[in-house]
Structure 1
């Protein structure tokens, strides 16, 4: 009997399953609840289960792997071309099966629970930062309505009432009470962000890979945490493939034998790309250190090209070195800047 390949369209509480044998014949078409789905695969012999890499997919992938199943996670954009005619959950499941059998299909590694935790901690931190930024704009907008233009920056925001005391006119007492409440909320958000930074550091300092990653100039705790949470070195052939996945390479639009390269593709992990660019910016602000770590090419490129071009080029180099350090399990050496 030929092995059955299952395509699973996942939802919050219902799961639609399509199974096809090696000849493409449909052998099952069924709807499950979460508990019934896990029970089904607990009693099933080892087989292949394909599903889209979306919300809840990594947890479900972990559960299926623990039950002896082989899990294939597909990027949703690679499944869409295989959806025929109208769209419903069973058609989506059939498209997942079809896409998973293509010989040149690319798959997403199933994240571990630790990787998921690191991503959650960082998302909570980013939520605090966005809330703090919105609060600063809110306070600035309120003051502008009363004829005061608050200078930008956290230094001014932390010393808000000292700055207000130096202004030429006083604000209504009710407004001052409201500003006190908003300012206290701003200070609490600063404390939450600092606490989140400590939590992330505690989580990653136990991992030996972090010590290796932090030997790379421009890589700190936040970059190392995101590398651990999102990069599986074995999923990439080399560092250039990782840089392309992150979106730090030119987007190509070529035809008729004419090559046309555009701006960076911005594919893959937005957060990791942003952090690598911030790390590269920190290095470019110290040219002597950047040249010592990565060679004269970055200084020469900075002299010939716009700042942002050199910035992305160095971020690309950081991504490739990161892959090299993680895959070889060796600390960064200056010679590795040529990988």
Structure 2
């Protein structure tokens, strides 16, 4: 198998499909490997180009196979799909991956280190707990509303809601589930606070995160998420490419020489897009409290709704993020104006 130059690997939980070709494109190997056989197979293989889809476990295998001298490249699954000739089988997928990884126009996903994945895991765990906190809050509010107990919306008003429930003349059978929900609410909130502290400590230790926090609307959570997800910006030719990757650019639909731009595509990383949007809404809220002016954001708010302006500002923030990560500099408000 010394003549193998390119290998496509279709990842799975237990059984992996391998498709290897030589320099002329002729098939040399096409077989299945169990998880326990993966490292031994590639350790005996001469250094070659290995392609994988950027899915669950891909970064782990890319790091492990890279130790053997292989050039491991990860690709977005949506970019590999057009190379599947016919049918949905593991063999067809591995062959498509083997073909796609050799294309000069293919865009690849940077392999993440264990430290980067650990930080992203903290973000994902925090996001999961925030969703749980919202669910528990809605459950408490809905149950107490059945007894006529209502307070203003917001997580910060849950304490008032629970106090009102304790003072109310509720049936005994309703108090136990209410206390269970209250305990879950406070425990979940404490866990979110603990993860937030870890993220803030990471933001203080990361030079890239410090630079990104100089951009208005970007705090430690957004900065660390961006720095961890975008360790290498060379895959984006321009700042607009990053905005498009985050789904913040209009979706084009052109035909017959007529160009039409629709709504934003909402493709790519939903978590980063939401963080940028929330940061933009915070900047807009602060700007509205200020005096009228001739700056770009104020003029935009005079002719667009707040949400439309937030999307435009998030797009601008993404482009600024690309510039700072690429140049290694901090945000300059005078130049941005």
RMSD value over aligned CA atoms? 2.2
1:219 equivalent in alignment to 2:179: no
Q: Residue 291 of structure 1 contacts residue 298 of structure 1 at CA under 8 Å; is this kept in 2?
A: no
Match of 2:143 in 1: 142
Alignment of 1:199-238 (within 5 A): 199-231=198-230, 232-238=232-238
1:105 equivalent in alignment to 2:97: no
Alignment of 1:72-221 (within 5 A): 72-164=73-165, 170-221=169-220
- Supply the distance in 2 between the matched residues of 1:173 and 1:296 (Cα, whole angstroms): 59
Question: Is the partner of 2:130 in helix, strand or coil?
Answer: helix
Q: Unmatched 5+ residue regions in structure 2?
A: none
Aligned-residue offset at 1:172: 0.7
Range with greater deviation from structure 2 (156-165 or 82-91)? 156-165
TM-score by length of 2: 0.93
1:270 equivalent in alignment to 2:270: yes
Question: Is the partner of 2:30 in helix, strand or coil?
Answer: strand
Question: Is the partner of 1:267 in helix, strand or coil?
Answer: coil
- Supply the distance in 2 between the matched residues of 1:94 and 1:106 (Cα, whole angstroms): 18
- Supply the distance in 2 between the matched residues of 1:284 and 1:55 (Cα, whole angstroms): 37
Q: Deviations over 1:149-169 (max 9, x none)?
A: 4542223212234223565xx
Aligned-residue offset at 1:14: 1.4
Match of 1:312 in 2: 311
Aligned-residue offset at 1:193: 0.5
Range with greater deviation from structure 2 (108-117 or 280-289)? 280-289
Alignment of 1:232-311 (within 5 A): 232-287=232-287, 296-311=295-310
- Supply the distance in 1 between the matched residues of 2:4 and 2:296 (Cα, whole angstroms): 54
Q: Residue 13 of structure 1 contacts residue 34 of structure 1 at CA under 8 Å; is this kept in 2?
A: yes
Q: Residue 321 of structure 1 contacts residue 336 of structure 1 at CA under 8 Å; is this kept in 2?
A: no
Q: For the structure 1 residues 8 and 181, does the alpha-carbon distance in structure 2 shift closer, same or farther, using more than 3 Å as the test?
A: same
Q: For the structure 1 residues 37 and 289, does the alpha-carbon distance in structure 2 shift closer, same or farther, using more than 3 Å as the test?
A: farther
Aligned-residue offset at 1:335: 4.2
Aligned-residue offset at 1:37: 1.2
Aligned-residue offset at 1:207: 1.5
